[in-house]
Amino acid sequence: RKEVEQDPGPFNVPEGATVAFNCTYSNSASQSFFWYRQDCRKEPKLLMSVYSSGNEDGRFTAQLNRASQYISLLIRDSKLSDSATYLCVVNETGGGADGLTFGKGTHLIIQP
């Protein structure tokens, strides 16, 4: 059974702080990895893909450790608008041919 595990939180963090989320996946054959963001009662939206070399997009940095089957997301200088649920997502193939496997998400609350 394919599984993606995340700490559900909630993480209560003051505005401007740095926060990190972790995620582990069970299928060592997984090929592609993503972080999605889901706001309350909305569909998930792609935040960023995660590459083996690590990648950064503005205040967001994602890391992948294939040996440990571990994915991380770092948010620097957090904003109130960053409050959401962050979903760790894994795909079995690199081309997106399969459905995605979602973690339950980590709930982040940025406090003023």
Partner 1 sequence: GAVVSQHPSRVICKSGTSVKIECRSLDFQATTMFWYRQFPKQSLMLMATSNEGSKATYEQGVEKDKFLINHASLTLSTLTVTSAHPEDSSFYICSARDGRGHQTQYFGPGTRLLVL
Q: Of the ranges 11-19, 51-59, 71-79, 95-103, which one interacts with partner 1 (CB under 8 A)?
A: 95-103
Closer residue to partner 1 in complex, CB, 43/67:
43
Token readout for 72 is 């991380």
17 binds partner 1 (CB under 8 A): no
Nearer to partner 1, 2 or 79 (CB): 2
In one-letter notation, the amino acid at residue 30 is: S
Decide: is 40 part of the binding site for partner 1 (CB under 8 A): no
> In the numeric block, which tokens belong to residue 44?
């998930």
Q: Which two tokens stand for residue 22?
A: 């972790």
CB of 16 to partner 1, least distance (A): 29
Of 73, 84, 103, 106, the one binding partner 1 (CB under 8 A) is: 103
The span from the CA of 35 to the CA of 103, in Å, is 10
> Cα angle at 84 between 33 and 73, to 5 degrees?
35
